[in-house]
Structures are given as structure tokens and as C-alpha cells.
Amino acid sequence: MFALKLPRIKLSRKLLLFVSIAMLIAVIMVAVSVVRPSAAATDTDDEIVVNFGDQASSMYVHWRGPDTTISYGTDSSYGSSATASPPAITPVDITGPFWEVKLDSLTAGTLYHYKIGQGADHTFKTAPTGDFTWADIGDTGTTFKDPAAGPECATPWLADHWQQIADEHPDFVTHGGDISYANKCGVGSVHQFFQDIKPLSTTAAMEFAWGNHEYGGTTSPPAPKGTPPDRLANYKGRLTMPNAQVLSSDTATRLTHPGCPAVAPGTGNSCQGNDWGWFDAGGIRFFLWPEGGEPKSVVDAEAGSDPIMHAAQDDPNIRMIVIVAHRPVVSSITAELPLRAELNKAMDTLHGKYSKLRLYIGHHLHGAEVMAPRNGVTYLMDGGGGVEEVKFPASAKAYETAGSLFHSSHPSHLLGTVSGNTMTLQYICGPVFGRNPNADACTPGDVMYSLNLDLPAVPGK
């Protein structure tokens, strides 16, 4: 029988060792490639932001870019998808396309994952049902710096502020207006704002009250030559107000605040609606009041809020009513007192009827201030988002008159926590203010001031 004789190959010890190590490395590389996921997906769309819907079971997602579909679910395998539509109001500061989608039949108090197109995995939380944490901020500005803009427009620390709040993992965020300062620093500020907030806006719903800068005329200088006035369409088109309300002055033909100039071929108001709203979170009813630059808006807000507060007062599951608004009612800074007279009257009337209204958070003045409760309502100022630092009065009398307990001009934000029968409100030191690092200096992340408000027991607990 024929037998094949193979030549005997002699391998040296060194060669055997080399072959063994190479095989071992190959096995390890294969194993690692199986365990490690493929390179993380990146977003092809930008300006991603999530808002609460009218109920805790719905959310709105907005973005700008080529994709029209969103996948979502309680883990990163998603399971559901939806198709977006153009928003009813179109931003005009930059070309789109802009998209909005409403997600329904969600479970309240739940973390959801989502991705836009084949983009990165992001998360949001639906409105909380029990204990929760939220962050409030206002008067922010952006990291955009047009070379032709003045030095007041260089605020790179805003990126640090957004990341700092994202690292605090709030369930949601309220913003008290004066958002991008595009009227002051150039039209590119609007887009940059919706990029700057990405660390936070892709992890938590963001709820906005409008400020005066959202419709402000050009502030020149420091605005670059040719900067157009900002307009509310740039914000109403990127954000959905929960339980949206319309001011009586926001008519189809109104071309100034709270409306917007016509956009051809249209001739009427290009941003009617979405002037103010409200939502519930963990037994707290939050109002997002309209910009109070004209007394009529305050009168409207008082009248429109009355039945909604009445329902909250009668609902045993609502434990407190909170108003988030742009203009402060009380402050040691006495500018705009005529406007505050309208706000004071509205607040005293509403609290007189609805005792659950116990907290008002104003912004607009660029610092933090805590006032002693007045007529049963605690008034806070939280305008230290970082655009600039306000100058507080030198006179002790001003603080005494306002009942001021604490003030700071350093960048800061509020962190609110509802735990059991207590709402804790902490002013958190924000990033160093680069133009004046020593004023009211504090260590970023430190608690600058803290106060507690008691809450009635949850029914049945």
C-alpha cells in the first residue's frame, strides 16, 4: 500500500514561542472585537431638544437636519418609531429643515432611549410621578462669538455651565428666558444655543418661559453691523410649550411681540401661539408665564392661569403651584418697578385665592437673590445663567426693603429637589465668570444658599 511520507519540519524553540504568542494575540483581538461594540453612532442632525407634552404620557422631540424618523423605547433596542413633521412655526435665523414629533402613550416617570435616523443614542425622562430633581436657569447667552461683535459677547464659560447641570442629572430643566442674546451678539447665537445645550437637552426635557431678548431689537454695539432684531419664531419653532396658551394680543395680524414679522408670501403674524403654558411634575404644577414686558401680558396671564390654578387647588394630588417667569416680582434692584406693580397685584390676587401658589422664580436681572416669603409666596431671582453679572445695590436699605436674604452676581443656577414632604432649593455656584473672576467668587458646584419649603403629604401615603 502506498504511504505518503511527509517531511518532518523541525521548528526551533524561538519560532514556536513566536507562533504561540501570535496565535494568543489573534484570539484576544477576536474576543475583544466581539465584546466591544462597533464605533459609536454620531448624529447627522443637530439642535436636538425634548419638551414635555400636555400630559406625562407625551413628549415632543425637535431637531434640525436631513432625518425625519425617530426610534424610541425604554432601552437602546428602541422598539417603536415615529415620523416627524415640520413645526407649525418656522425659525428664520438659519435654514432648516426643522422637525418636530410628538411621542404618545409613554409611561410617566420613565427613562426612554431614542435616536434620530441612525444617529447616536440619547435619553429623556417623562414627567416625574414621585420625588424628583430639576434645574432652573435663565439669562444664558452662548459660546458663539462673531468676530465683529464686542467683547461682551465672549462667554465661553456657558459650555461649562451646561455640562455642569447635565452632570447633576436633573429630571428636567426650566429656563426663565433671555435665551441666546442673538439681538446683542449676532444671529448665529440662536443656532449655537441649541448646540451648546446638547449635553443637557439630550438627557432631559427643557421647558422655557420667554424673555425680552427673544424679540429684542438690535443692541449695537456690541452686535455686529447688520444684525437683525431677534424674533420669537426662532424659539417657538424649536420648542413646544406644554399646554400652550395664547395671549389675547397675539392675534393673526400682530407683527410685533408677542407676534412676529410676516414671512413672504404670508402677510400676517408668523409666530402666533405658544406664549405661555404649564405642566405637572411629581405633584407640583409648574407655570411658564409669558414675558411681562407689557402690563397686558401679566393681566392675561393672571386671567388665563386662574382656572388652571383653581383646578390645581381642588386636586389633592397637586401639592404646590410654582410660577417660572422672566421678570422678577421682588428684588433689591429696583429697576422696572411699574411693571412689578402689575406682577405684585397678580401674585397677591392669585395666592389669595389659591394657597398652593407658594413659589415664584423670576430671572432677567443677571444674578441670584432670595427674598423672605411675602404674603405667603417665596420670591427667587435666578438670572445668573452666565451672560453677564448684575450690579447689586450698595445700600443696605435696598435689601431690607426687598426682604433680601441672599444675593450673588456670580454665575449660578437653581437645583430643586422634591423629596418626601420637602422641596429643597439650592443655588449652585456656576463656572468662573471670565470677565470678573473675583466678584462674589465661589467654587463651581458648591451650594451658595439653600432653603426648604414644606409640602403637604401625598394622599394615601
Binding site for Fe ion (CB under 5 A): 178, 211-212, 364
Nearer to Fe ion, 51 or 183 (CB): 183
Tell me how far, at minimum, the Cβ of 385 lies from Fe ion, in Å: 11
Tell me how far, at minimum, the Cβ of 141 lies from Fe ion, in Å: 12
Q: Residue 316, preceding bond cis, omega within 30 degrees?
A: no
What three-state secondary structure class fits 185? helix
Nearer to Fe ion, 170 or 293 (CB): 293
Q: How far is CA 156 from CA 36, 132, 287, in A?
A: 35, 30, 31
Instruction: State CA 459 to chain mean position distance.
Output: 30
Tell me how far, at minimum, the Cβ of 259 lies from Fe ion, in Å: 19
Nearer to Fe ion, 59 or 209 (CB): 209
Tell me how far, at minimum, the Cβ of 326 lies from Fe ion, in Å: 6
Nearer to Fe ion, 177 or 282 (CB): 177
Kindly state the DSSP code that residue 276 receives in the 8-state scheme. B
Tell me what percent of the chain is helix, strand and coil, each rounded to the nearest 5: 25, 25, 50
What three-state secondary structure class fits 396? helix
Alpha-carbon distance of 202 to 50, in angstroms, equals: 7
Nearer to Fe ion, 198 or 364 (CB): 364
Alpha-carbon distance of 340 to 342, in angstroms, equals: 5
Tell me how far, at minimum, the Cβ of 340 lies from Fe ion, in Å: 13
Tell me how far, at minimum, the Cβ of 170 lies from Fe ion, in Å: 23
Tell me how far, at minimum, the Cβ of 327 lies from Fe ion, in Å: 7
User: How many CA atoms lie less than 13 Å away from 399 in the CB half-sphere?
Assistant: 12
Cell match 413659589: residue?
359
Nearer to Fe ion, 62 or 364 (CB): 364
Tell me how far, at minimum, the Cβ of 387 lies from Fe ion, in Å: 10
| Residue least distant from Fe ion (Cβ) | 364
E-strand ranges in 66-208 read 69-73, 80-83, 98-103, 111-116, 122-125, 132-137, 172-175, 205-208
Angle at alpha carbon of residue 416, lines to 189 and 318, rounded to 5°:
115
Residues 6+ apart with CB under 8 A from 318: 280, 283, 284, 285, 312, 356
Tell me how far, at minimum, the Cβ of 136 lies from Fe ion, in Å: 15
Tell me how far, at minimum, the Cβ of 356 lies from Fe ion, in Å: 27
Burial of 247 (0-12, 13-18, 19+ CB in 10 A): buried
Nearer to Fe ion, 87 or 328 (CB): 328
179-208 residues labelled b (16+ CB within 10 A) or e (exposed): bbbbbbbbbbbbbbbbbbbbebbbbbbbbb
Nearer to Fe ion, 185 or 455 (CB): 185
Cell match 429643597: residue?
424
Alpha-carbon distance of 140 to 283, in angstroms, equals: 28
Q: How far is CA 192 from CA 139, 310, 378, 383, in A?
A: 15, 40, 34, 20
- Answer for the pair 340, 329: CB distance below 8 angstroms, yes or no: yes
Nearer to Fe ion, 45 or 214 (CB): 214
Nearer to Fe ion, 58 or 332 (CB): 332
Tell me how far, at minimum, the Cβ of 58 lies from Fe ion, in Å: 30
Nearer to Fe ion, 110 or 212 (CB): 212
Nearer to Fe ion, 211 or 367 (CB): 211
User: How many CA atoms lie less than 13 Å away from 249 in the CB half-sphere?
Assistant: 20
Q: Would you list the DSSP string of 12-54?
A: PHHHHHHHHHHHHHHHHHHHHHHHSPSSPP--SSEEEEEEE-S
Tell me how far, at minimum, the Cβ of 178 lies from Fe ion, in Å: 4
